Amino acid sequence: MTEAVLTLNAGSSSLKFALYPARTDAQALLRGKIEGIGRAPAFRATGAGGQQLTGPDFARFDAAATHEDLIPALFDWIRHQQGIELVMVGHRVVHGGRDFTGPVRLTPSVMGDLAALCALAPLHQPHNLAAIRAVADWAPGLPQIACFDTAFHRTMPRRAQIFALPRRYAEGGVLRYGFHGLSYEYIASALPAHLPPAAQGRVIVAHLGNGASLCALKEGKSVATSMGFTALDGLMMGQRAGALDPGLVLHLIRQEGMSAEAVEAMLYHNSGLLGVSGLSNAMQVLEASQTPEADEAITLFCDRAAAGIAALIPDLGGLDALVFTAGIGENSARVRAAICARLGWLGLELDSGANAQGLSDISTPASAVALRVIPTDEEVVIARAARALLPEGAEART
């Protein structure tokens, strides 16, 4: 049987997975997603050549099926339908706090530390941990590791991590943690193949997906990022407002009488592209729409992204390259063009033909800043970490 490492990315209603060869740095054997958890779970997966794979029978699962029910079905399918034996599972975990600065082997003590961080990421961390527990229950001897979205940013200097609040808050862990770290780690690892050496010096990566953030990279390390204590900060996103006047939150609570839960729901789920357009959180849908509200939402998204990029330049002392990635960054020529248009004063010049064609190199030869589109791959980063932490001669245990 082929030995593989499994990567899992568990959200509230979805479970993304991918399988990589255990001993070689080769491409994914297959990847897929279980969607609709809590409603009607649906399975889809594609093989290495992009072919659709027949999934397990999910007809027996209904709205009551949880990650704990679906993970055994996934494991059975991997072993019996795909003939793959697992030697390690690597999880994407959103929050590693101050102390987890890299991937870690999961033990009961580490799980205790990660559970304590749920308060910092209440909408994501509990689902990540539920998947880890479900694997541990089903395959108790199978080694598991966690890879954190926050860890990549722990190289930021202290002054990029603290807020201008009384000191005791920073000492108590109120810090700019930053997120999307697995995506930035992937891009940092891919940069040498995409950019001339000089451009690996001062790079801003724009991760523009449904969640969106920016990272300033100096020699491949994070020195500043737009997300903060929570994943609400920074850029306008699909459903999140991004950075706001904190006085506005006080106003909503005092004058509008909103509860903390109602404010949370508004800021996480009903704002951003969805809130401004009144139509959708998906850029693709807004681009296809003719309404002035959709147009305004796209314009605001691009303005905020350009302003965010400009705000990171002092942390780098200049800019050699700007990289676009994630769903919008990789696919929307309109968004890339609008952001670059607002940053033209940097001497940055977009090659509009290359941009429209979706090429990787989208800057003109005269541009003072190299512009690139690089597809991200968070799963590869988890798989590499899993291989690196694989015990020598580990037995397959599913």
Residues 217-246 touching ligand ADP, rule: CB under 6 A, are 238
Residues 292-331 touching ligand ADP, rule: CB under 6 A, are 326-328, 331
Query: For ligand ADP, which is the closer residue by CB, 234 or 238?
Result: 238
Q: Please compute, for residue 183, the number of CA atoms within 13 A of its CA located in the half-sphere on the CB side.
A: 28
Query: For ligand ADP, which is the closer residue by CB, 89 or 283?
Result: 283
Q: Which residue has the tokens 């003939």?
A: 83
211 binds ligand ADP (CB under 6 A): yes
8 binds ligand ADP (CB under 6 A): no
Nearest approach in angstroms of CB 261 to ligand ADP is 23
Interface size with ligand ADP, residues (CB under 6 A): 13
Query: For ligand ADP, which is the closer residue by CB, 161 or 332?
Result: 332
**Closest alpha carbon to 205 in 373, 360, 382:** 373
Strands (E), 184-260: 202-208, 212-218, 221-225
Q: Which stretch binds ligand ADP (CB under 6 A): 1-9, 85-93, 144-152, 208-216?
A: 208-216
185 Cβ neighbours under 8 A, 6+ residues apart:
152, 381
Cβ 386 vs Cβ 145: under 8 Å: yes
Nearest approach in angstroms of CB 283 to ligand ADP is 4
Q: Which stretch binds ligand ADP (CB under 6 A): 192-200, 263-271, 279-287, 341-349?
A: 279-287
Nearest approach in angstroms of CB 162 to ligand ADP is 27
Phi, psi of 72 (to 5 degrees): -60, -35
Nearest approach in angstroms of CB 227 to ligand ADP is 12
Residue nearest ligand ADP, CB atom distance: 327
Query: For ligand ADP, which is the closer residue by CB, 315 or 378?
Result: 378
Query: For ligand ADP, which is the closer residue by CB, 200 or 213?
Result: 213
What is the three-class DSSP state of 63?
Answer: coil
Catalytic position from the list 25, 149, 233, 315: 149
Burial class (CB in 10 A: 0-12, 13-18, 19+), 297: buried
Longest dimension (CA), the chain: 64
Q: Which stretch binds ligand ADP (CB under 6 A): 39-47, 111-119, 204-212, 242-250?
A: 204-212
Q: Binder to ligand ADP among 68, 113, 287, 361 (CB under 6 A)?
A: 287
Q: Binder to ligand ADP among 118, 130, 282, 394 (CB under 6 A)?
A: 282
CA distance 239 to 235: 11
Cβ 106 vs Cβ 120: under 8 Å: no
Helix axes 125-138, 108-116, angle to 10 degrees: 160
Number of H helices, E strands in the chain: 15, 13
Tell how far CA 95 is from the center of its chain: 12
332 binds ligand ADP (CB under 6 A): yes
213 binds ligand ADP (CB under 6 A): no
Cβ 298 vs Cβ 335: under 8 Å: yes
25 is catalytic: no
Nearest approach in angstroms of CB 274 to ligand ADP is 10
> Which residues contribute to the site for ligand ADP (CB under 6 A)?
209-211, 238, 282-284, 287, 326-328, 331-332
Catalytic amino acids?
149
